[in-house]
Structure 1
Amino acid sequence: MDLKEVMAINMRRLRHNQDLTQEELADRAELSMRYLGSIERAHVSASVTVLGKLAKALNVDPCELIKQPKR
């Protein structure tokens, strides 16, 4: 699994755990909803800056977004 897919899975899981919509997360992270959706579908790679914004919006360490899921 590539890092885009790992981040997409983790981001979606964390967002759902916090009962956030894509729109709410995009607003918190100051990103467009379209761009956030593209990240969640693993269609685009997020920059380190965007990784930081998303981690802050989700109140997690940035490493949580790129940590490989346990099998």
Structure 2
Amino acid sequence: MKDVQINNSVKLRRTELGNLTQSDLAKQVGVTRQTMNLIEAQKYNPTIKVCLLIANALDTSIEKLFWMEEEL
């Protein structure tokens, strides 16, 4: 299996929506603010369920929020 990096644009999308805080998004998704912070910092890869909940809360598709890149 190739090494891949999972990237996301959760913070960008959240800030595009205006005044949605990490705490607000975390509450909607059902995780802690600290977990949301780790996801946005790309230090934690959420489960597919959490990815789908985040995409739904941010009114976008999972493909626009999360993608893979091969590590060199």
Q: TM class, shorter-chain normalised?
A: 0.7 to 0.9
In structure 2, runs of 5+ residues without a counterpart are none
Equivalenced residue count is 64
Deviations 1:9-37 (A, max 9, x none): x1011000012110111111121111111
2:25 is aligned to 25
TM-score (norm 2): 0.79
Which of the pair is proportionally richer in strand?
Answer: 2
% identical equivalent positions: 20
* More RCO (CA 8 Å, sep 6+): 2
The 5 A counterparts of 1:33-52 are 33-52=33-52
Which of the pair is proportionally richer in helix?
Answer: 1
- List, as ranges, runs of 4+ consecutive aligned residues in structure 1 with deviation greater than 3 Å: none
The alignment's C-alpha RMSD in Å is 1.6
